[in-house]
Amino acid sequence: MLKLDLHIHSQYSEDGIGTPAEIIKTLKKKGLNGMAITDHNSVKGGLKALKIAPKDFIVIPGVEISTSNGHMLALNVKNDIPRDLSVEETVDQIIDLGGTPIVPHLFRNMSGIKTDKLKKIHKKIPAIEVFNACSVPKTNLKTAKIAEKFNLGGIGGSDAHDPLYVGYAYTTVDTINTNIDSIISEINKKKTWGEGTTMPLDYRRDRMLRSIKQFFQRGLKRI
């Protein structure tokens, strides 16, 4: 069984801190086997991590894309994808690049695509994020039920923007094969799931307040 945190932000996200090296070090200390750095609208963090990761640590390059309807994760991509496209267009672009589209934090107010949009793309995606460590347990349970309803697999991700909090959530992959193609295949076959622990309330509160402040600093523009 492998455990990978598949939703992490580094210093290459405008609201993140920490280098890929710091993130890898922390995850290894916590006993995780790998990760995906999914910075906002940039693959730089994931590509940097690929270059420096030790051989015994799995790095799946990725990105979190701001669509016009909410956020979308792309796993196993090495090219940036334009932001502000519709969620349907974004999913098609991810697939065209050979990547795997995943829906994160489905119900989040500012950045979740919500169920109506999921209905339009669920046949093109293998999984949704059923455990996000920044979401409250009630929301994660609700999301897990949606995954089951639409016959989708699941992933887990910390959604950490600080290396101290990576690894709070992770994706379980029932294999010992550390090849990226093998792991992506398990995700695409809907055989993975998300587990973890909710982050401390004070961190989640501080992050929410910081996100609101940055929203106004950007001129009422979502990240």
Reading the chain (223 residues) residue by residue, the pLDDT tens digits are 999 999 999 999 988 899 999 999 999 999 999 999 999 999 999 999 999 999 999 999 999 999 999 999 999 999 999 999 999 999 999 999 999 999 999 999 889 999 999 999 999 999 999 999 999 999 999 999 999 999 999 999 999 999 999 999 999 999 999 999 999 999 999 999 999 999 988 887 777 767 666 555 566 567 7
Note whether 85 and 67 are within 8 A (CB).
yes
| pLDDT for the residue numbered 206 | 73
Note whether 160 and 22 are within 8 A (CB).
no
| pLDDT for the residue numbered 200 | 87
Q: Rounded to the nearest 5°, which phi and psi values hold at 215?
A: -60, -45
Q: pTM, whole model, 2 decimals?
A: 0.93
Token pair listed for 77: 């991509």
For the chain, the domains span: 2-217
| Residues 122, 135: Cα–Cα separation, whole Å | 22
Q: Rounded to the nearest 5°, which phi and psi values hold at 155?
A: -130, 165
Token pair listed for 211: 């996100």
| pLDDT for the residue numbered 90 | 98
Site of tokens 């897990």: 144
Helix then strand then coil, in percent of the chain rounded to 5, is: 35, 25, 40
| pLDDT for the residue numbered 201 | 82
| Residues 190, 199: Cα–Cα separation, whole Å | 26
- Does the domain at residues 2-217 carry the CATH identifier 3.20.20.140? yes
First-to-last C-alpha distance (Å) of the chain:
34
Q: Mind giving me the DSSP string for 51-90?
A: HH--TTSEE--EEEEEETTEEEEEES--S---SSS-HHHH
Q: Sheet harboring 58-59: ordered strands across? A: 58-59, 34-37, 2-8, 169-173, 193-196
DSSP-assigned letter for residue 191? -
| pLDDT for the residue numbered 217 | 58
| pLDDT for the residue numbered 221 | 66
| pLDDT for the residue numbered 169 | 98
